[in-house]
Structure 1
Amino acid sequence: MSTGLFAPISAPIASSDLLSTDHVGARFRIAMVVPPYFDVPPKAYGGVEAVVADLVDSLVARGHDVTLLGAGEPGTKAKFVPVWEQAMPHRLGEPFPEVVHALKVRRAIERIAATSGVDLVHDHTFAGPLNAPAYLGLGLPTVVTVHGPVDDDDCYRYYSELGKDVSLVAISDRQRELAPDLNWVGRVHNALHVDQWPFQVEKGDYALFLGRFTKTKGPHLALKAAHAAGIPLVLAGKCSEAPELAYFEKEVRPLLTERDHVFGLADAAAKRKLLAGARCLLFPIDWEEPFGMVMIEAMVCGTPVVALRGGAVPEVVVDGVTGRICDDPAELPAAIAEVRDLDPAACRAHVEANFGAGTLGRGYEQVYHQILRSRRLARAAQLLGETVPVRIPV
């Protein structure tokens, strides 16, 4: 019988098991989930896949054990589990592959957890976070990078309903500001491996549009601006889905002149060549762009960005140093002329300092530390609360 004020602990609990929350130098076992539509890294289109490729390579270089679950061929330093034999770019936008992919991934992660073990799941898909409750049953937290918009009603409701089952990571401060009540745990800007991109001082006599052919991306505005500035425009990007094709025929084709060139979808090598040689990248968006990878891809090649203010643009471009940020499409032609005098080396230096792949790995490592630390503290509080009842002195 105890004669003190507190009852004895029913079983010994090592403080190192419960209260040691410093994961610095820890080796995490991460299940990294990507969509089933493109290889990682992508051969052409695939912004999410490009970011994930750099992320997993950075994490592996930092000593973590990363298993990448996706489709297609292996292309990173991570262990690769193809839940589909081939990537399915032709089915992008269909709900069926997304949902079946989530089911296949869940089964694969259950097998991995039962064999080699997993510390957390990091999901980059849309339907995948619906697996989070099942993963919690295995003791696994789910981290979700939100690569798309959160400001439209449908997306907001989706992430809101996920609640605290998932820990959300924003890719820009602006994205987080648009839905501050979601379960955000941090912000990590997208990044790239600087040494994998060419640097070119001498530029060609063309402006470049590189992106999906949609009204929100603004290729029609890019054409009007380039024509007003007296410079040819090269248009490269994805135009394969029915809405993209319809938009191209209605809004883009009527504006094309004999000086313009529709390049089509550029693979990795062609994209680098186009970006390095352009006088500027035109980024006349008409929506809250969550990040905009093509902006840092242009700047790392020494090519300034001429953009409309929106989304993360002010976080990525330094106005007057690495490009020009305009508030109205009418300002774009003058901006195209102004960026001719900007220093290409300053553009690349800005990416090296702020958007190098090392920042990507460090940023997510801190997120993992935070989440696992919180779980360990919660477990400590729960166990201590259950086994160390307080006796009130009389």
Structure 2
Amino acid sequence: MIVPPWYALPPPGYGGLEQVCSALVDALAAKGHEVTLFGAGTGTGTAATFVGTVPELQHQRVGQALPELAHLARVNRMVSPASYDIVHDHTTVGPYAAADRSVPTVATVHNRPSGELREILGDVDPSVGLVAISDTQRRLAPELPWAATVHNGISTATMMAKSSPGPGPVLWLARFSADKGPDLAIQACRDAGMPLVLAGKCDERPEQRYLEQVVEPMVGPDVTVLRNPDRDATVRLMLAARCLIMPIRWEEPFGMVMVEAMATGTPVVALNRGAVPELVRSGETGLICDEPAELAGALRQVSRIEPAACVAHVRRAFSAERMADDYERVYRERLAVPAPSGRNERAPSVAW
């Protein structure tokens, strides 16, 4: 299992991808598989055997190409058919780098497949099994050689869940970004006459600038802003919240925070964008709105949603065990496909 070099597994705070990978590693180990986790840092809280490619987590350089490429180059030097049956890669450029391995690779695409990423994914070795995390994501680039769609999952065994609707404010939980719509959340809650907590990742300069220039001028006594809350704090916020609001402005390929909220019994009020209708059952585990003007009315009605229905939905459709079963099928299918011989064994290209 190869994860990006940015954050620890499981993540102490922000890290939806890392939360998913942690749950998957532990679920596969529980099924009897021997899992080796290649990441950054000095250890892992998962059931995997950990191999670090660099002693320090690289979160200060998140999004930069070189830390991830160096991480992958080190992993590729350690991976061989003598030691591993299959590689599951969760990095951004990992699918392209997989051609340097002689071990079959399954690569989960966690980001929106557009622009340069779409171009890279279109040129991966045919032996690499690309896995989408939603049908919505797959439809954004239907020409890519998708091998399967596997919804993300969450470990529900230790999740706390409430038995009655939360008495607290509406919760928005995301990166501080226009795509995530915190300004729409403020307006919707204000129109509904409800308090709001904005709890968001804000450690990169674009996030800080958006918070300072767009969000903070809108903040009043009805809005509380929390920067970079840790995992325990976010769980407490979800348990107390009336609902989670997701007024996204982009085609989000999944949206793990919605699954996490529903797992605590917290319903979701969201705009009908991206994978929202794949995750939320409108009228059963939340309310989906077509326009921002509808959000305030949905906020007033969402207390009718039963927390138990939200929890049952997650356990049925988004459990770590279901995710591990689905990936196990993908692994077995890819084992029947010849692995690439490796770029290092191909004819050299011209150097300029």
Alignment-mate amino acid for residue 61 of structure 1: A
Partner of 2:91: 125
* 340-349 or 97-106, larger mean C-alpha shift: 97-106
Partner of 2:181: 218
Partner of 2:288: 325
Alignment-mate amino acid for residue 157 of structure 2: D
- TM superposition shift of 1:86: 2.1
Partner of 2:119: 157
Alignment of 1:179 onto 2:141: yes
Partner of 1:86: 56
Contact 2:246 2:270 in 1 (8 A): yes
* TM-score normalized with structure 2 length: 0.93
Alignment-mate amino acid for residue 93 of structure 1: G
Alignment of 1:265 onto 2:234: no
Q: Distance in 2 between matches of 1:210 and 1:292?
A: 11
Partner of 2:154: 192
Partner of 2:200: 237
Contact 2:104 2:337 in 1 (8 A): no
Partner of 1:381: none
1:157-190 CA-partner distances (Å, limit 9, x unpaired): 1111215142100000111112111111101100
Contact 1:171 1:290 in 2 (8 A): yes
Alignment of 1:46 onto 2:9: no
- TM superposition shift of 1:223: 0.8
Partner of 2:132: 170
Partner of 1:95: 65
Q: Distance in 2 between matches of 1:359 and 1:367?
A: 13
Q: Report the secondary structure of 1:145's partner residue.
A: strand
- TM superposition shift of 1:89: 1.4
Q: Distance in 2 between matches of 1:290 and 1:202?
A: 28
Partner of 1:28: none
- TM superposition shift of 1:128: 2.3
Q: Report the secondary structure of 1:149's partner residue.
A: coil
Structure 1: gaps spanning 5 or more residues:
1-31, 377-394
1:247-294 CA-partner distances (Å, limit 9, x unpaired): 112221111111211111121111110011100100011111111000
Partner of 1:71: 40
Q: Distance in 2 between matches of 1:123 and 1:167?
A: 10
Q: Distance in 2 between matches of 1:322 and 1:349?
A: 9
Alignment-mate amino acid for residue 267 of structure 1: D
Partner of 1:371: 334
Q: Which has the larger radius of gyration?
A: 1
Alignment of 1:57 onto 2:26: yes
Alignment-mate amino acid for residue 160 of structure 2: P
Contact 1:167 1:184 in 2 (8 A): yes
Partner of 2:191: 228
After superposition, residues 268-287 of structure 1 pair within 5 angstroms as: 268-287=231-250
Alignment-mate amino acid for residue 363 of structure 1: D
Contact 1:307 1:324 in 2 (8 A): yes
1:214-255 CA-partner distances (Å, limit 9, x unpaired): 111111111111111111111112111111111112221111
Alignment-mate amino acid for residue 123 of structure 1: D
Contact 2:169 2:242 in 1 (8 A): yes
Alignment-mate amino acid for residue 77 of structure 1: A
Q: How many residues are paired up?
A: 338
Alignment-mate amino acid for residue 34 of structure 2: D
- TM superposition shift of 1:132: 1.5
Q: Distance in 1 between matches of 2:321 and 2:65?
A: 34
TM-aligned CA distance change 1:330 to 1:202, over 3 Å: closer
- TM superposition shift of 1:202: 4.3
Q: Distance in 1 between matches of 2:7 and 2:150?
A: 23
* TM-score normalized with structure 1 length: 0.83
Q: Distance in 1 between matches of 2:20 and 2:44?
A: 15
- TM superposition shift of 1:131: 2.4
- TM superposition shift of 1:130: 2.9
Q: Distance in 2 between matches of 1:53 and 1:183?
A: 26
Alignment-mate amino acid for residue 196 of structure 1: T
User: Hey, which bits of structure 1, 4+ residues long, moved more than 2 A?
Assistant: 127-131, 373-376
Alignment-mate amino acid for residue 180 of structure 1: P
Q: Distance in 2 between matches of 1:130 and 1:174?
A: 22
Partner of 2:322: 359
Alignment-mate amino acid for residue 129 of structure 1: P
Q: Distance in 1 between matches of 2:96 and 2:119?
A: 13
Alignment-mate amino acid for residue 370 of structure 1: E
Q: Distance in 1 between matches of 2:148 and 2:94?
A: 19
Q: Distance in 1 between matches of 2:287 and 2:88?
A: 35
The counterpart of 1:312, out of the listed 256, 262, 275, is 275
Q: Distance in 2 between matches of 1:323 and 1:291?
A: 16
Alignment-mate amino acid for residue 333 of structure 1: A
Aligned-residue RMSD, C-alpha: 1.5
Task: State the identity %.
Answer: 47
